[in-house]
Structure 1
Amino acid sequence: MQKHIAIERPRLLLLPEMPFDRWLAADRNISKELKMESIERHRDWMNELEKLEADYIVYSTPEYIGDKFLNTAYVYSKRDGHQRLHSKAYFPEEPHFWEESCFDRPDPVVFDTFLLDGFCIGVLLCTELWFTNNARKYGEQGIDLLLCPRATGKESVEQWLNCGSTSAIISGSYCLSSNRSGNGAEGFQWGGTGWIAAPINGSLLATSSKNNKFVSITVDLEKSRLAKKEYPLYVKSNGF
C-alpha cells in the first residue's frame, strides 16, 4: 500500500472497517479486556497511518465513548489531525458477524456530511449501505463521495457490488468502498473487492482484486454535482 500511495499520491485514501486488528465480532462474547486491546492496537497503528502521503485518510476504529463501545469512522489529515465522522448504528447478528452483541449504538444516531478541502463526503459503515434512505439523504445534502469501509465475506461480493452501484445512483455521488481481504477466524474468507462506482448510472469505474489490491482513479466532482439535478435525486421526498 505504501508503494502505491507513494506513486499515486491520492487526495483521499479509504481503508476497510476497523483494519488494524483481528475482526472482533467473529466471537459472540467479547470481553472488555479484548475490546480495550483492539482499541490500543488501532492506536498503535496511528503513527504509521500518519506517515502515509495522502491528503485525507478515512478509516474506522473501535472506541469507548462513556460506557458505549462504538465502531466509529474518522478522517485524518496532517493539517487537522483525526476528526470523528460517524459511529455505526446498524448491526448484523449472525455467525462471524455478532456485531449486535459486540457494539453499542450511538445516541443520538446521526448521518452528518463532512466538508473537506473542496469536496463533501458522507460515510456509511458496511451494513449501513443497505439502508438506502441514508444514501438518498446524503445526496440531498450534496455529498460528492459516499464512503463505505466494510468487512464482508467472499460469498457476498456480487451482492455488495450491486449495492455499491445502486447507492451511487441513489445518492447521486461517487460510491467508494474498501474491504478486508485474506483469511479470518476459523478459515473465514474475506471478500476483498473494493470499488469506485459512478453517479447517475452506477457503473463500476474500478475494483480491487487479489492481484490488484489497491486502485486509484481521478474523478470529476462536477459529475457528482450535476447528478443531483438528475433522476432520481430531483424527485422531492417531501419529508417521507
Structure 2
Amino acid sequence: MVRAWSVEWPEGLLPGEAAWEEITKQLGDARNDILVTNEMPFGFWQPTMRSFDIDAAREWASLHERALDSLSRLPVAAVISSRPVLSGNRLVNEGFVLMQGRYEFIHQKHYFPSEPGWEEEAWFELRRPGFDVIKVAGLTVGVLLCTELMFVEKARHLGKLGADLIAVPRATGTDHRMWKTAASMAGIASGACIFSSNRVGHRPGDNPVFGGGGFTVDSDGFEIASTSPENPAVALEIDRAITSAAKCRYPVYVKEPHFKS
C-alpha cells in the first residue's frame, strides 16, 4: 500500500519562510509517500484580472522554477504539483511529478475559468493536449487540474487507463460542495482514489478568498478525510488490490458504445 497526502497551503507561500518550515514538519515520517499540492502553490494567485500582465506572469513562473528545489527536498517519495510556465505571450499550467529530484511532465491544464478572481482564460493556453497516466511510487497516477475535475468523462478516461490515484491540485473558494460532489463522481466513474489540495487565505486587501479544504475520496466515491486550519495535512493509504477490483464494478466496467457506419 502507498500512503498519499492532501494539504491546504497558505496563499502567498514562499519556500524557506516559516510557513514552509511548518509544512515540512507536518509531513513527519513520510519518506515513502506521495504528496499532492495545491494548484501552482507558490506566491500570490495572479490571474485575478482579465488583463494579462506579462511581468507578473514572468515573475510567478520564475518563482515556481526556483521552488522546484524546495519541493524536491520535502520528506516524501514523490510530489505531484503544477506550475505556471511561460509559453510565448501566455502561460501554461503544467502538472508534474518530482521523484528523487527528477522532474517529469504529466499534463497541461485544458479548461480555464473566466470570471472575477479566476480570469485564467486570459492568462493561460494549452500547448500539449492529452490526459495520460504515469507510474509514481508504485501507483498508476493521473492528474486533473482544478476545473478539469468537473468533467467526469476525463476521470473515467483515466480510470480506463488504470489510474489508482487521480491528483487534483486546485485553487478554489470557500464553497466546497460542488468540488466534493465532483470528486465523488470522479471516484465512482474511474474506480480511482481522488486526492485534492487547495490554497487557503487571500492577499491582504484583495480577492479572491481561497477556502482550503483539501480532501481524500476513495474509489467508491466516499469522502474519507478533509483538511482544516487545525489539521492542514491528511493522509490515506491506497491499496492497489482495491482500486484494481473497483475497475470491475459498476459503472466503471460499462463499455463505451461503438457504432458501425
TM range (shorter): over 0.9
Q: Which structure ranks higher in relative contact order (CA pairs < 8 Å, sequence separation ≥ 6)?
A: 2
Measured after TM superposition, the shift of residue 65 of structure 1 is 4.0
Aligned to 2:93: 71
Q: Distance in 1 between matches of 2:100 and 2:209?
A: 34
Aligned to 2:155: 135
Aligned to 2:215: 195
Aligned to 2:231: 212
- Structure with bigger helix share is 1
Matched, 1:180 2:202: no
SS at match of 2:122: helix
Identify which of 87, 96, 101 aligns with 2:122.
101
Closer, same or farther in 2 for the Cα pair 1:139/1:34, shift >3 Å? same
Count of equivalent residues: 236
CA contact (8 A) 2:78 2:98 kept: yes
Matched, 1:83 2:104: yes
Aligned to 2:16: none
Q: Distance in 2 between matches of 1:158 and 1:190?
A: 14
Matched, 1:55 2:77: yes
- Structure with bigger strand share is 2
Gaps of 5+ in 1: none
Measured after TM superposition, the shift of residue 160 of structure 1 is 0.8
Aligned to 1:25: 47
TM-score, normalisation: structure 2 = 0.86
Identity across matched positions, percent? 33
* Amino acid aligned to 1:54: V
Aligned to 1:148: 168
Closer, same or farther in 2 for the Cα pair 1:163/1:59, shift >3 Å? same
* Amino acid aligned to 2:79: I
Gaps of 5+ in 2: 1-22
SS at match of 2:27: helix
Structure 1 residues 152-163: aligned runs within 5 Å: 152-154=172-174, 156-163=175-182
* Amino acid aligned to 2:181: N
State the 4+ residue runs in structure 1 displaced beyond 6 angstroms.
Answer: none
For 1:137-168, what per-residue CA distance to the aligned partner results, in whole angstroms no more than 9, with x for missing partners? 111111100110000000x2111111111111
TM-score, normalisation: structure 1 = 0.93
SS at match of 1:121: strand
Closer, same or farther in 2 for the Cα pair 1:188/1:69, shift >3 Å? closer
SS at match of 2:235: coil
